[in-house]
Every structure is written in C-alpha cells, then in structure tokens.
Amino acid sequence: MEYRKLGTLDLEVSVVTFGAWAAGGWMWGGTERKDAVEAIRASYDLGVTSIDTAPIYGQGTSEEIVGEAIKGLPRDKVQILTKYGMRWDLNKGELAMKSKDNNGNDIDVHKYAGRDSIIKECEDSLRRLGTDYIDLYQIHWPDVTTPIEETMEAVAQLIKEGKVRQAGVCNYDVAQMQEAEKYVKLASNQVPYSMVKRDIEADVVPYCLENNKAILAYSPLERGLLTGKMKPGYTFSEGDHRANIYFFNDENLKRTDDFLQKIKPLADEKKATLAQLVIRWTIEQAGITIALVGARNADQATQNAKAINIKLSQDEISFITDELNKLELVKP
C-alpha cells in the first residue's frame, strides 16, 4: 500500500481508503453487518488503514460497524475519518432530503452544523466508534443556515480538547474553504471525483494544489458504474438510490461500457480488473490525494486494495484519458 499526508499535516492515510457508506446500508438496499466487518478487516490486512464513515450512513450503523471492525487493532495504526452536519434526529437547518432509514421508516435529513450539534455529534460518534479521538473530522455538506465561523470554531475547540486530530470539509467550494480556513487549519476537502465527474479540475484542484490541501475523491468508481459489471438492463434492488440517477440509464450504461471495453486490453495486460485500473488512474490525477472506495464484502475490499499494485506509465495514463475524453454521457 502507498500512504500520503493530508496537506502539510502529520496525518498519513492509505491512498486507497475504505469508504463505509455502502457498509451502512442506507440508500444501498440494506447491509449485511458481518460481511461489512469482514470487508474492513480484509482491507486492513492489505494495508488499507484509513476508513471513511459518517453518522448518517445507516443512522449510526456504519460507525458502529467500523467500531466493531477495528476493535482489537492498534489504534495508532488506523485512521478514522468521519463527519458531522447531517442530522436525521433534529429538525434544524436546511432540509436536505426526505428518506427512509434501514428499517423503512420515514426520516427527514437536515444539513445542520451549529456548535452544540457538532459537540453532541462528536460524542455520539466517539461512542459508536469505540474510540476517544477522531483522526479527521469533516463537515458532511455546507450548511447555509449556520455561519462557517461558528462551525469551524466548534471543530477547533474539539481539536484543542484532543477529541479530533485534524479538520476537513466535504463538498465545499473554494470560497467556502477560504472562509473556513480563517478559523481552523483545514487538512482536506472530500469531493466527488471520477472519470465521468471531473468538474473539480476547474477550480477546487488548482486551489488545493496551491494551498497544500488534500483532496479525498469519493465515488471514484461512480457507485459501480465504472466497474464494467453494469450493462444496459441492469436492475437495482429496492431502496438502491442509483436506480434514479442518470448515469445508470440504459444509454449511459452502454456508452460507459463502450469506453471501458476500449481500455480493457490495458487492464488485461496488467492482469487487473477494470475497477482496479480506474482506481489507479484516479489516484494518478493531479491534486487527488486518495480514493475512497466502498465494498460490501471481503472479496470486493480485497480487489479494491490490490489496485495499488498496478503501475501505469505516463503514456498509459494519457491513453486512458484520451479515450475518456471521447466519452459523452447523456445528461438530463
């Protein structure tokens, strides 16, 4: 495994990081707890020491699974990345979505990052994770109802108390990062980035490169789209959010598969899967520090971790990018 520092700070994370959204089951059609725990442990055995989770993933379930998976491991050899600011149990802030929990009950999810809420969320996360500190604490989504100053000063206080090591943000634009930086030293910005979603290259990437901020790329496989396993006619299970996303309509599945078939000979040459090739390409892109990759079981986790073993020359990276630039997806 390879490891990289988050920005200029002393926190090192595995370049392939375990993304625990799917492990929590919420919006993914449920979860098998035993499989999820085994997936995290299989990743760790291959050097994936960093795990990204959040309270909203299964309304605490994902964090509990992470806590169970790391129990007994040396705490200083594991990096826990979790979040705050998405409340399903508090009617404050901006309504983000109406959803259902893992039991099928209706819930309202709010973006809220007020000071007292953050303090409570941190204590709840520490309890579920079974630890006394969080390595990277990230606001999950911008909260337009709370001043960034109030939010970041609360996190700075948690750092001072030793409950949090480093502060990060998710889904922030450059202006929001600049404002947050006035009140706390930011290590990173976690944003969506994949072969078919590269808009951050225009502004966030240049800013982070110039200011030594790490970029944590989430959904690098675009929620399974880039694995090569989805063909036109693919059927999602009940409760799977992907069923209503334009990436997964039949025409885009066909166009994506056509692109993947063009780069498959390179994957075959490397004795790699398409997903592994995509992950390696992603972490080779300018400004991308790590790729957050989810897994539902130990086999998937093992395959993801082994993506690090692939080596790509600059010519091979350029070949993939040139083919990718010819791909045009149909947008709504």
Label each residue of 255-270 as H, E or C: HHHHHHHHHHHHHHHC
Question: Three-state DSSP class for 190?
Answer: strand
Residue type, 226: L
Q: Which two tokens stand for residue 260?
A: 């993947």
HSE, CB side, 13 Å, CA atoms: give it for residue 72: 5
Query: What is the spatial distance between Cα 161 and Cα 143, in angstroms, rounded to a whole number?
Result: 24
Q: Give which of 317, 331, 320 is closest to 261, Cα–Cα.
A: 320
Q: Which of 57, 112, 207, 218 is catalytic?
A: 57
Q: CB of 177 within 8 A of CB of 165?
A: no
| Nearest CA-CA partner of 228 in 322, 297, 303, 315 | 303
Quick check: 48 and 301 in contact, CB under 8 A? yes
**Cα separation of 220 and 317, whole Å?**
16
Residue 50's closest CA among 16, 8, 93, 25?
Answer: 16
57 noted as active-site residue: yes
Distance CA 104, CA 157 (A): 37
DSSP, collapsed to helix, strand or coil, labels residue 206 as helix
CA dist list (Å): 39 to 1, 34, 256, 305? 16, 9, 27, 11
DSSP lists the bridge partners of residue 100 as 106
Measured in degrees and rounded to the nearest 5, phi and psi for residue 45 equal -60, -25
174: closest CA among 209, 144, 222, 129?
209
The tokens for 5 are 């520092």
Which residues are designated catalytic? 57
